[in-house]
Amino acid sequence: MKRARFKYMTGYLSSVYDTPLFIKKVNQVARKINAFRKHNQVDAIAFTGHSGSAFAYALSYKLGIPLICIRKKPDKSHYSSFYEGRTNVRKYIIVDDFIETGKTLDRIRQDVKFRSPNAKLLAIFLYGGNDDKDNWKGIPVFDLTW
């Protein structure tokens, strides 16, 4: 029996909705992070928003790395904190879609520092593109676009 091909909406998170493609991409990102971990201890994966969560939860499960979720705005109806997850982090990475202005990355760094004052951001793993940035404020950026 021939398997039906589904059509997915195009756009910013289209690869997340295509299950076989999403699995392939998560595995690719996990391999890159594991290669990085051979030389760097990583205590947590930090992320924010819908797009960050799509990859972060899957990577946490696959790699056994705890998460830090930085909410964009506390949702008083469900949860009133801007920070969820691992605290007392020493070394962490950020998983995000892309760097536009850097405001999201600044907010993640500030919020992690608030809960873990000695935390050090080791690297940024982008799965949506990075406009040819090799680093961001001295932090290595790994472009994982496919």
CA 54-84-110 angle, to 5 degrees, is 95
**Looking at the domain that runs over 14-143, which CATH code has it been given?**
3.40.50.2020
pLDDT for 66: 96
How many residues does the structure list for the chain? Answer: 146
pLDDT for 82: 81
Q: Do 127 and 21 contact (CB within 8 A), yes or no? A: no
In the chain, how many H helices and how many E strands? 4, 7
Supply the DSSP symbol for 79: B
Residue with tokens 């949506």: 128
CA 94-87-115 angle, to 5 degrees, is 85
Would you give per-residue pLDDT tens digits along the chain (146 residues)? 555 565 555 666 666 778 888 898 889 899 999 999 999 999 999 999 877 888 999 999 999 999 999 987 656 656 667 888 888 899 999 998 877 778 889 999 999 999 999 999 999 998 776 666 678 889 998 887 65
Q: Which residues are CB-contacts of 44 (< 8 A; sequence separation ≥ 6)?
A: 65, 66, 67, 68, 85, 86, 89, 92, 93
- d(CA 37, CA 16) in angstroms, rounded, equals 25
Encoded amino acid at 131, one letter:
D
Q: What is the pTM of this model?
A: 0.84
User: What are the residue ranges spanned by the domains of the chain?
Assistant: 14-143
- d(CA 22, CA 98) in angstroms, rounded, equals 17
Helices (H), 40-142: 49-63, 103-115
Greatest C-alpha distance within the chain: 57
- d(CA 48, CA 3) in angstroms, rounded, equals 35
